[in-house]
Amino acid sequence: MTTRLLVTGGAGFIGSHYVRTLLGPEGPGDVRVTVLDQLTYAGNLANLEEVSSHPRFSFVQGDICDAGTVERLMGAHDQVVHFAAESHVDRSIDGGAQFVRTNVLGTHTLVDAAHRAGVERFVHISTDEVYGSIDTGSWPETDPLRPNSPYSASKASSDLVALAYHRTHGLDVRVTRCSNNYGHHQFPEKLIPLFITHLMQGRKVPLYGDGGNVRDWLHIDDHVQGIELVRTRGRAGEVYNIGGGEELSNNDITRMLLDALGADWDSSVAYVEDRKGHDRRYSVDWTKIRTELGYTPRVRFAEGLAATVRWYREHRAWWEPLTARV
Ligand code: NAD
């Protein structure tokens, strides 16, 4: 039987990759996908061009906070995968209101409508940033949430709202908390595409503080693999961390990108004042998804990064118009 899947935020970086994968040659074949996306500055229909005429694809431009639109769509879908969010930490530091509205109120609007429409499954895409910052070791899913930025606080709130609908109403909610994603089609405000596009334009890259902040990096192909395992084989009411197993500092990444693009440190790196409240290190423990669902990241960072650089080199027409929005 075909599953009618509602994908929110499907015109963004990760959501569009998820949709292209589901409807591509490796996809499950038994899903019909509707994307609900408001097309904010981060949403881009060009990301969905490849599937726009697919017989099992449709697109609705709309706001996840709009209860009428959401209610109408929920009634016609079996499952939801919820990506839509304000996703950039720096923007949340400049102003958090839109983050609370979209991430908290929007998620509430969706889970409430899903519950009332009797939707069978709701996968909520969250982030490792909800755990805060960790000096050593890694967070299992049972660790407390200690978010530090307005972005991560709004994501932590939305996780809890979604999980509350499982505990209170029995809605089948599954939450994923992934590490930093990278790959093609990422909006050029995030570290890797920002640095690639700056270097391609002969501009200096802005490196926060001492460059020693550490993140775990997850290729979008591996993230999509993890989401599909959770959607199809995970358990209701459970949280699953998804990691890439590749921890690197911003200095490490900068060095690799300079090498890939033939630039040198002194003439291409500008140290800038550190981000306010900048979390020093993130590290998720993804033992649960590995042992329970058989997840294994397949893309090694060095290879994934080289392919990403290649993609930005070959797709200038995709990113050049977007740099005006950064
Ligand atoms: P993105 O910013 O590229 O895309 C977000 C999408 O949501 C855009 O298409 C935008 O138009 C849409 N959107 C925003 N507000 C909306 C609204 N009110 N109604 C409908 N659509 C709306 O984000 P991304 O990087 O693809 O991230 C997707 C999800 O994954 C987010 O929930 C984010 O918090 C989470 N996440 C991302 C990363 C990462 O490294 N990119 C890491 C961890 C978690």
Per-residue pLDDT tens digits for 3-19 = 999 999 999 999 999 99
42 lines ligand 1 (CB under 6 A): yes
Q: 31-45, pLDDT tens digit by residue?
A: 999 999 999 999 999
Q: Are 33 and 57 in contact (CB under 8 A)?
A: yes
Query: pTM for the full model?
Result: 0.98
Tell me the two tokens of residue 219.
Answer: 């290729």
Tell me if residue 295 is catalytic: no
Alpha-carbon distance of 278 to 90, in angstroms, equals: 10
> In a mutational test of the pocket of ligand 1, which residue from 40, 69, 87 has the highest number of ligand atoms less than 8 Å from its CB?
87
39 lines ligand 1 (CB under 6 A): yes
Check residue 285 and give its pLDDT: 98
Q: Looking at domain 3-180+218-242, what is its CATH homologous superfamily?
A: NAD(P)-binding Rossmann-like Domain (3.40.50.720)
Give the chain's length.
Answer: 326
118: phi > 0 → left, psi -120 to 50 → alpha, else beta; which?
A: left
Give me the CATH topology for the region 182-215+246-276+300-325.
UDP-galactose 4-epimerase; domain 1 (3.90.25)
Tell me if residue 259 is catalytic: no
16 lines ligand 1 (CB under 6 A): no
Q: Which alpha helices (DSSP H) does 65-124 contain, by range?
A: 67-74, 89-94, 97-99, 106-117
193 lines ligand 1 (CB under 6 A): no
Alpha-carbon distance of 57 to 24, in angstroms, equals: 11
Alpha-carbon distance of 242 to 287, in angstroms, equals: 9
- Rounded average pLDDT per 10-residue block, the chain, 326 residues: 97 98 95 98 97 98 98 98 97 97 98 98 98 98 98 98 98 98 97 98 96 97 98 98 97 98 97 95 98 98 98 97 84
Tell me if residue 66 is catalytic: no
CA of 143 to the centre of ligand 1 (A): 24
Check residue 27 and give its pLDDT: 94
Alpha-carbon distance of 218 to 230, in angstroms, equals: 16
Tell me the two tokens of residue 72.
Answer: 């109408």
Q: Which of 112, 129, 189, 279 is catalytic?
A: 129
Q: Quote helix, strand, coil % in the chain, to nearest 5.
A: 45, 20, 35
- Which amino acid, residue 272? V
Give start-end residues of each CATH 3.40.50.720 domain in the chain.
3-180+218-242
Tell me the two tokens of residue 214.
Answer: 């550490």
Check residue 324 and give its pLDDT: 79
Nearest-10 crossing angle of helices 301-314, 191-200: 50
Q: Are 140 and 196 in contact (CB under 8 A)?
A: no
Give start-end residues of each CATH 3.90.25.10 domain in the chain.
182-215+246-276+300-325
> In a mutational test of the pocket of ligand 1, which residue from 48, 83, 88 has the highest number of ligand atoms less than 8 Å from its CB?
83
Q: Which of 18, 131, 151, 240 is catalytic?
A: 151
Q: Are 191 and 257 in contact (CB under 8 A)?
A: no
Q: Which of 37, 63, 86, 128 is catalytic?
A: 128
Q: CA separation (Å) from 155 to 33, 79, 133, 159, 162?
A: 24, 21, 15, 6, 11
